[in-house]
């Protein structure tokens, strides 16, 4: 398994995803500020992975708190720093809340014990995520036919999670179970998570794949070259509306038009039951430079305006099924997701 992120000797180690696939560099982060910055600048990215990073980052911050200071206030300040790193992925806020709950239920204990409990919880979030991804993959694998040509967008693999991946986990399970799989990988402009990260992971796993530019999907569907679409998610509203990497919405429309199943694979920690629809999902707007440049080289005349929404929202009516660790759910999602929440 690729170590995307790990806690080692009271430090956070992570692979620098900005440098992949050309350089495999592991960074050693010693302060919570460094971890927060790594989330904001996408050294680490992907909804479950940034949740784990936030949990580890808060643990790093807590480790440096002292008895002589107002450490309760400082703890909340650290959590606030992580809340501001990226707005869309629910897993980030879910992980921060989990750490907060541990702090709150232990805050009357000696600081040394609080520190141990928080590290324990952060490690548990990481461990559980790997197990959850394996379950998602098992559940999703049953939807994959003996022979399938799968389109995926962005990167919902090992690099985006604690391990194994969600959408890519489903693909890997199908492949390891002997199914004949070919993966079409959307390059995923502007950050190129598909070209740089998903192709890197699929190559390592030995899974046949083909890289396409984001504007090719419709034509390939028309030509029968794609038989299903599987993507991950950053936040799912109670009614199933799903925020994922920009470009996902267009794929869902294309899939519907061509009668191709469109699957979303995500853990329950991605579901935001506090919001009714996708309208309420905050969409991150990133630096325009990501659109105007590739590898720091301008691709448009100086002064060109650009927009850079990092995510879009796919209405649940376009989603054939949502694959979670607790099972696969279908429309109407308001009902099926609620049921899933009740059994978990
Ligand atoms: O901007 P990113 O790279 O963090 O966006 C990631 C995605 O959109 C993924 O598809 C999503 O987080 C699911 S990862 C299992």
Q: With DSSP H G I counted as helix, E B as strand and the rest as coil, what are the percentages for the chain, rounded to 5?
A: 45, 20, 35
Return d(Cα 61, Cα 119) in angstroms, integer.
11
Does ligand 1 lie within 6 Å of residue 5's CB atom?
no
Q: Separation of 89 CA from ligand 1 center, angstroms?
A: 8
Last residue in a domain, options 134, 165, 180: 134
Last residue in a domain, options 134, 161, 193: 134
Does ligand 1 lie within 6 Å of residue 166's CB atom?
yes
- Are 172 and 207 contained in the same domain? yes
**In which residue ranges of the chain is pLDDT below 50?**
1
Contact in structure between 280 and 88 (CB atoms under 8 Å): no
- Are 105 and 223 contained in the same domain? no
User: Any catalytic annotation for residue 234?
Assistant: yes
- Are 126 and 263 contained in the same domain? no
Residue 77 neighbours by CB distance under 10 Å: 12
Residue 323 neighbours by CB distance under 10 Å: 28
Return d(Cα 47, Cα 203) in angstroms, integer.
22
CA-angle at 217, arms to 49 and 141, nearest 5°: 50
- Are 85 and 157 contained in the same domain? no
CATH code at 95?
1.20.120.420
Number of domains making up the chain: 2
Q: In 3-state terms, what secondary structure has residue 155? A: coil
Nearest residue CA, atom 10 of ligand 1?
232
User: Strand pairing partners for 329?
Assistant: 322
CATH code at 276?
3.40.50.10470
- Are 89 and 103 contained in the same domain? yes
Return d(Cα 251, Cα 153) in angstroms, integer.
9
- Are 12 and 142 contained in the same domain? no
Does ligand 1 lie within 6 Å of residue 234's CB atom?
yes
Does ligand 1 lie within 6 Å of residue 194's CB atom?
no
- Measured in residues, the chain has a length of 344
Q: How far is CA 200 from CA 6, 29, 270, in A?
A: 20, 24, 25
Ligand 1, closest atom to CA 244? 8
Q: Residue 240: left (phi > 0), alpha (psi -120 to 50), or beta?
A: left
Q: Separation of 106 CA from ligand 1 center, angstroms?
A: 33
Q: Which of 129, 233, 263, 265 to mutate to test the pocket of ligand 1 (most atoms within 8 A of CB)?
A: 233
**What residues make up the domain containing 68?**
5-134
pLDDT digits (tens, 9 = 90+) for 83-128: 999 999 999 999 999 999 999 999 999 999 999 999 999 999 999 9
The pLDDT score that the predictor gives to residue 69 is 82
The pLDDT score that the predictor gives to residue 2 is 55
**DSSP state letters, 34-103:** HHHHHHHTTSS-SHHHHHHHHHHHHHHHHHT--TTS-HHHHHHHHHHHHHTT-SS-HHHHHHHHHHHHHH
The pLDDT score that the predictor gives to residue 301 is 97
The pLDDT score that the predictor gives to residue 338 is 96
The pLDDT score that the predictor gives to residue 35 is 98
Does ligand 1 lie within 6 Å of residue 90's CB atom?
no
- Are 284 and 320 contained in the same domain? yes
Q: Separation of 23 CA from ligand 1 center, angstroms?
A: 21
Sheet holding 209-212, edge to edge: 209-212, 180-186, 147-152, 228-231, 262-265, 321-324, 327-329
Ligand 1, closest atom to CA 50? 4
- Are 122 and 141 contained in the same domain? no
Q: In 3-state terms, what secondary structure has residue 15? A: strand
Position of tokens 């799903």?
242
Q: From the candidates 129, 234, 241, 272, give the one annotated as an active-site residue.
A: 234
Closest CA to 198 of 182, 209, 189: 209
Contact in structure between 197 and 21 (CB atoms under 8 Å): yes
In this prediction the pTM is: 0.97
């Amino acid at each position: 398994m690729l170590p995307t992120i790990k806690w080692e000797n009271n430090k956070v180690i992570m692979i620098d995803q900005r440098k992949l696939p050309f350089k495999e560099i592991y960074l050693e982060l010693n302060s919570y500020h460094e971890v927060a910055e790594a989330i904001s600048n996408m050294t680490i990215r992907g909804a479950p992975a940034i949740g784990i990073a936030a949990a580890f980052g808060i643990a790093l911050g807590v480790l440096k708190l002292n008895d002589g200071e107002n450490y309760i206030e400082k703890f909340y300040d650290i959590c606030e720093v992580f809340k501001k790193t990226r707005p869309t992925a629910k897993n980030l806020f879910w992980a921060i809340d989990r750490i907060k709950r541990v702090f709150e239920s232990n805050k009357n204990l000696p600081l040394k014990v609080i520190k141990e409990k928080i590290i324990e919880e952060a490690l548990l979030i990481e461990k559980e995520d790997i197990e959850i991804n394996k379950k998602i993959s098992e559940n999703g694998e049953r939807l994959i036919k003996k022979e399938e040509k799968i389109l995926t967008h962005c990167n919902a693999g090992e690099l985006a999670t604690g391990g194994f991946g969600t959408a890519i986990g489903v693909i890997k399970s199908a492949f390891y179970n002997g199914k004949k799989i070919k993966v079409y990988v959307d390059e995923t402009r502007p950050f190129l998570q598909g070209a740089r990260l998903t192709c890197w992971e699929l190559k390592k796993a030995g899974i046949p794949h083909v890289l396409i530019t984001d504007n090719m999907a419709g034509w390939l569907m028309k030509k029968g070259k794609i038989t299903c679409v599987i993507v991950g998610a950053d936040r799912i509203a109670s009614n199933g509306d799903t925020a994922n990497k920009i470009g996902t919405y267009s794929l869902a429309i294309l899939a519907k038009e061509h009668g191709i199943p469109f699957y979303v694979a995500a853990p329950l920690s991605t579901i935001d039951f506090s919001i009714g629809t996708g309208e309420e999902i905050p969409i991150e707007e990133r630096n325009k430079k990501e659109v105007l440049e590739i590898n720091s080289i301008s691709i448009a005349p100086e002064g060109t305006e650009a927009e850079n929404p990092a995510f879009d929202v796919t209405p649940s009516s376009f989603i054939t099924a949502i694959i979670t660790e607790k099972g696969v759910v279908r429309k109407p999602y308001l009902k099926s997701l609620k049921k899933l929440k009740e059994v978990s």
